[in-house]
Amino acid sequence: MCGRFILTQRIEKLGERFNVEVPPDLDFSASYNIGPGSYTPVIASNNPDTLQLFQFGLTPFWAKKAMYLFNARSEGDRNKENDTKYRGSKDIINKPAFRKPIRSQRCIIPADAFIEGTTNERLKKPYVVYLKDKVRPFAFAGIWDEWEDTNTQTTTYSFSIITTTANELLQKLPHHRSPVILKQNDELKWLNSNTPLSQITDMLHPYDASLMNAYPIDAKISNPRAQGRELINPIGPPIENDETFHVANHITKSGFGRRKIR
């Protein structure tokens, strides 16, 4: 599952990276612990030229109350055993909460890294998972929906991150799922409502593990209210050998959190 991620880029850099307009009143601060219920920048198909703030945790338009579906399995109800060799149907297209969004309400979610725990111990044994060579921000593949609370007459725009089978790096934690990270040249196709559904489902595969790495951090990240750069301080070496990685100064070298987003 991918229920926590990090985004500390200056808001201007997000606009440059994704070639979108940043509204002057967009209010977002750097976060080392974005979790369900948090509002975070997205680029969504309803306004693909502008950065927006959506809530992490999708509530379907037909729901009676808020649901916070923060992940959407690409296999839907198939592959319940999370077989990493699964190459069957992407049954997300048939799930009641996701079948409309996957067809016409897609989004990309900028992130610098994400937090993942082990399958059994979860966030009692967390890791920061990042892309090598300082590739950040990158883009999760997401879907969004619009939900009206009939009690308060308020409208919420919310999203889920799509997950797939674990790649080789996530298996080493070990963890049983991977978030779908889009290749940069697929991002506009993902947002385009005219992209054939077969091409969309073809994008729902694990990211190349050779381009990723992870290192362990303290379990205090499990507190959803915890914030601060110290949350992602390494407490051990990375999973894969990395000669450029130094535990004492990795955070400074990686560039996480250099400036507060306003």
**Does the pLDDT value for residue 119 go beyond 60?**
yes
Q: Quickly state the pLDDT bin for 244 (edges 50, 70, 90).
A: low
Mean pLDDT of 113-118: 98
Number of domains in the chain: 1
Burial status of residue 178 (CB atoms within 10 A of its CB: 0-12, 13-18, 19 or more): buried
Contact 7, 257 (CB under 8 A): no
Do 107 and 142 form a contact (C-beta atoms < 8 A)? yes
Q: Which DSSP symbol is given to 47? A: S
Which among 2, 75, 107, 187 is annotated as catalytic?
2
Tokens describing residue 106: 């897609």
Determine, yes or no, domain membership for 165.
yes
Token readout for 149 is: 């609370």
Buried b (16+ CB within 10 A) or exposed e, 181-199: bbeeebbebbbeeeeeeee
Convert the pLDDT of each residue in 37-46 to its tens digit. Answer: 999 999 999 9
Tokens coding 249: 């100064």
| Active-site residue, selected from the candidate residues 75, 107, 116, 187 | 116
What's the CATH code of the domain at 211? 3.90.1680.10
Query: 2 catalytic, yes or no?
Result: yes
DSSP codes joined into one string, 203-232: T-S---GGGEEEEEB-GGGGSTT--SGGGG
Domain that holds residue 86: 4-254
Contacts of residue 3, defined as CB under 8 A and 6 or more positions apart, other chains included, come to 35, 36, 70, 71, 115
Q: For 191, what's the count of Cα atoms within 13 Å in the CB-facing half-sphere?
A: 22
CA of 79: how far to CAs of 83, 85, 91, 164, 242, in Å? 6, 10, 10, 10, 33
When mean pLDDT is compared across 47-61, 66-80, 229-243, the lowest value belongs to 229-243
Domain assignment present for 74: yes
Report how far residue 261's alpha carbon sits from residue 46's, in angstroms, rounded to the nearest whole number.
24
Q: For residue 262, is it within any domain?
A: no
DSSP string, 49-70: TB-EEEEESB--TT-SS---B-
The predicted model gives 107-135 an average pLDDT of 97
Asked, for residue 260, whether it belongs to a domain, the answer is no
259 within domain boundaries: no
pLDDT band of residue 255 (cuts 50, 70, 90) is very low
Question: What's the pTM value of the predicted model, to 2 decimals?
Answer: 0.93
**pLDDT given at position 246:** 52
Task: Give catalytic status of residue 116 as yes or no.
Answer: yes
Domain annotation covers residue 261: no
In a domain, 72, yes or no: yes
* Residue reference for tokens 């303290």: 218
pLDDT tens digit string along 89-108? 999 999 999 999 999 999 99
- Is 261's pLDDT higher than 80? no
Q: Is residue 223 part of a domain?
A: yes
